Structure 1
């Protein structure tokens, strides 16, 4: 079929690049113009920032460098997707139309592909998150561990990335009066500093010395987990992965990890299906693709449900400012929550080979 791609992946974040690496011999990647793969982990909708979390940037660059350059196509924004029978037509803002046998949406929380599948737009959880990176020319001196703190309606933490780079986060429940600080970097920084409470001078200096252009604030959103039980993760020859599948709050730190899980399961299921197709048998090929994506959806449905639910509940408990809830959290649930967080990291992707 002339002019038809075997596979198109929308989005070149961790999920998109890792999936394409598993299928690199037959993959075309399309990403929106203005976004580069090294910027995507910390790029909020319609917002670019000048910092990267170094470990994730290295991962993205490594994945990208492992791919043949001919498989990566930078394109203009996707306007809409048209169902042309088994083929899907991707209409771009510059007038280009790309037709494909398989469409994989790794295009983030505002996924066009998720919308095409009928999944609803992620919901605001009532909290906002500030994320930032600070570099120390002569080293920061922190031990390699998460330092987490709680205040009245806020939670924040400091995490060394390497000997000279520190990442920090700050989540809060904005009041109507505080919403305006999210739009003004100066007010946002002062707001964060005013909510730190009693911390060491060294910890406070992390926030005080962070440059304004190294901070970003965005509302925290998630997909209602029950939607994954009856919604379409895949349909015919279309599926979603990464944040397009399971947007979640950052409270269990599994967003990027689960994107890699998606990529392994999806690449294995789809490649295995395509390997079994018969030569010049279009109907059998379509059937194999559909069954491969259904297998992927079956494997990822409950895992995604668990991750989204756990992240939401952990965030709700950790950030509550009620006296009773704080007592339960600190005195009763602390060990349980630690166990839950550890359990979420333990996922067996199975055999990585294709039979």
Structure 2
């Protein structure tokens, strides 16, 4: 199907990866991004071995590794600093070929964008209609502009308008749209270099989590997750976090003190709790959060989007028809994406969202007694993914 054309709706990590993958197999691709300026907003992101392998297949893995920092030391703690589980990044690297890597989200976006054909990206263009005009062509309307293509990739995020058009009855009147997880997250990158002591940590208190990722330039990304009603906001988010975490062990207060108040981002955590019946409809494929928005508890959201992108491109490179490729994509990606989403939800319920003292004590005891090899095996279920080849 060399020489075919596609429109990718959404210029996030998954959408940009899809453009790169489709371009590598010889397709003409346009990505439509509704933002009028690309501000490269966001804090930090962790990339596991499965995401890194996908990036390797897209030809940008080395550049991403060079802009990242490996997570070799750290683990999970209590608010007083006691260890619940230690992370052995070297053992994980031996098992799957790569440690988890930390990178600023803005840097990852720029690297993906740099790998695009110059003419591929259209910003400030919102896809406001989707129409199958005949069996071989699908049409995307962007205001006064019409784009016809052999394929549309809906990578327009958790609130995906494309998903709503394709599956108007999903998830049904009992669960309208993405569901609030019960948690809200505040995050930022420190203003200047700071030494958090380890590459990566999570700290679990009653209904709260604080975590950090050390970044290559000496700065650190931190996040705070709280059990709160949806829509709750603070007049001074940084001051509120200092109040809530003032008794937690160092370096948590130091990370907050190294942050500009205006740098703090605050988002409620939503997920696509009711699984989609398919990741495809007609000549449209859903990808990333549009297909399987999940909670961040396993750090797999971006990795799963990258897996989607490579799997879709490989299917289109080898299948005899677009329809056959989309059937293969759905069969490969839907079981895995939905299984990872379920596991992430369960991890949140057993981690940060626990608030009852007895439940927390039982969880903490179980974690301390779990052998490190068993913990590594649990991680491997998600990290040990081998991408199809695009060459």
Task: Report if TM-score (shorter chain) is over 0.5.
Answer: yes
Looking at both structures, which has the greater relative contact order when contacts are Cα pairs under 8 Å and sequence separation is at least 6?
Answer: 2
Residue in 1 aligned with 2:280? 234
**How much does 1:15 deviate?**
1.3
Give, in angstroms, the shift of residue 165 of structure 1. 1.4
When residues 247 and 84 of structure 1 are mapped into structure 2, their CA distance, relative to the original with a 3 A threshold, is same
Is the Cα contact below 8 Å between 1:117 and 1:233 reproduced in 2?
no
| CA deviation string 1:246-283 (max 9, x = no partner) | 1111100011111111111011001223xx4xxxxxxx
Aligned position for 2:31: 29
> What is the deviation of 1:306?
1.3
The runs of 5 or more residues in structure 2 that have no matched partner are 45-101, 172-176
**Does the Cα contact within 8 Å between 2:206 and 2:357 map onto a contact in 1?**
no
What is the match of residue 297 of structure 1? 330
Q: Does residue 1:330 correspond to 2:364, yes or no?
A: yes
1:126 maps onto 2:128 in alignment: no
- Of the three residues 87, 102, 114, the one matched with 1:65 is 114
Structure 1 residues 195 and 342, CA, compared in 2 at 3 Å: closer, same or farther?
farther
Segment drifting more, 62-71 vs 103-112 = 62-71
Query: Over residues 157-179 of structure 1, what are the superposed CA-to-partner deviations in whole Å (9 max), with x where a residue is unaligned?
Result: 12211242110111111158xx5
Give deviations 1:317-342, integer Å, cap 9, x for gaps. Answer: 11201122212211114636664344
- The answer to whether the Cα contact below 8 Å between 2:190 and 2:259 also exists between their aligned partners in 1 is yes
Change (3 A) 1:316 1:73: same
CA distance in 1, matches of 2:364, 2:249: 21
Change (3 A) 1:35 1:244: farther
Aligned to 1:135, the other structure's residue is in SS state coil
Give the distance between the partners of 2:377 and 2:240, measured in 1 at CA.
33
Alpha-carbon shift at residue 112 of structure 1 (Å): 1.9
- Count of equivalent residues: 316
Take 1:74 and 1:11, find their aligned partners in 2: how far apart are those partners? Answer: 10
Alignment counterpart, residue 145 of structure 1, candidates 195, 199, 202 = 199
Query: Please, which of 205, 219, 224 is the counterpart of residue 273 of structure 2?
Result: 224
Question: Counterpart of 1:9?
Answer: 8
Give 1:33 deviation, angstroms: 3.2
| C-alpha distance in structure 2 between counterparts of 1:91 and 1:304, whole Å | 29
Partner of 1:39: 41
Q: Does the CA contact (< 8 Å) of 1:11 and 1:108 recur in 2?
A: yes
2:221 match: 167
Partner of 1:282: none
Residues 155 and 142 of structure 1: CA distance in aligned 2, closer, same or farther (over 3 Å): closer
Measure the CA separation in 1 of the matches of 2:264 and 2:104.
Answer: 17
Deviates more, 1:62-71 or 1:315-324: 62-71
**2:346 corresponds to which residue?**
313
> How many Å apart are 1:106 and its aligned residue?
1.0
Quick check: 1:353 aligned with 2:390? Answer: yes
Contact kept, 8 Å, 2:196 with 2:251, in 1: the verdict is no
Aligned-partner Cα distance in 1 for 2:361–2:250: 27
2:310 equivalent to 1:260: no
- State the match for 1:49 in structure 2: none
